[in-house]
Amino acid sequence: MNMADRIQYLRKSKGISQEELADKVGVSRQAVSKWESEQSTPDLEKIIIMSDFFGVTTDYILKGIEPVADKEQKNKELTSKVLYISSTAFVAIGLFCAFGNWYAEQTMEAVWGSMIIQAIGIVGYFIARILSEEKSPFYVNWLNIIGVAFMPISMITGYISGLVFKLEGWIAPYPIGIFHTLVFVLVGSIPKFV
């Protein structure tokens, strides 16, 4: 990418027209057009103004050299995005493993192992928050909260429905039977009313 391409890239990434850039820099629109088509090059003073406006170094505009700190920050942000997505995947995998293990064995020991998988996902989520100042997407937060809260809420509502309706047996990590499902839906809908 040459200087003309970098100026055009910065302008487009900022979402402004050639005329708007010309106003910011103090030149005509035709001058910006000539810079972007390699017919001329901007003066050093104009490069300094553009570097301040775009928030990049003059070295980036002139030579395409990105500061090392920017590369490190981009790597941290990429790592945090991967961790955010993988944390949600671990929470979901733990949830489905708990369902499968419970269905096969119906022991709490089988469920505990699945909860460890979810715990790894939550640790990954918080590491991502530490690494990057970028907030996690809404859907990641929502899916993690639902995924982590599902089993405990199901177990609590299973215990409550067992006491109220005099049911016997193990408390499952997912709603079992009509009474347990009704109590689970009632408890799950409480945050909508609050």
Tell whether pTM > 0.85: no
Total count of domains within the chain: 2
Examine the domain organization and report whether 185 and 95 are in the same domain: yes
For the ranges 4-8, 14-18, 57-61, 154-158, the lowest mean pLDDT is seen at 154-158
pLDDT tens for 65-106 read: 876 556 677 777 788 888 889 999 999 999 898 888 888 887
Does residue 80 contact residue 40 with C-beta atoms inside 8 Å? no
| pLDDT exceeds 90 at position 190 | no
Boundary-marking domain end, from 63, 81, 107: 63
Asked whether residue 54 falls in the same domain as residue 77, the answer is: no
- DSSP secondary structure string for all residues of 126-172: HHHHHH-SSPPPHHHHHHHHHHHHHHHHHHHHHHHHHHHTT--SPPP
Residue 8 phi, psi (nearest 5): -65, -40
Exposed, middle or buried, 90 (CB in 10 Å: 0-12/13-18/19+)? buried
What pLDDT does 191 receive?
Answer: 62
Please identify, among 30, 63, 96, the residue that sits at the C-terminal boundary of a domain. 63
Q: Same domain for 138 and 86?
A: yes
Question: Looking at residue 194, what is its pLDDT?
Answer: 47
Torsion angle in degrees (nearest 10) through CA of 116, 189, 126, 91: 40
- What residue numbers bound the domain in which 52 lies? 3-63
- The 10s digit of each residue's pLDDT in 22-49 is 999 999 999 999 999 999 999 999 999 9
User: Which of 63, 80, 112 is the endpoint of a domain?
Assistant: 63
Query: Which residues, including other chains, have CB under 8 Å from residue 139's CB and lie 6 or more apart?
Result: none
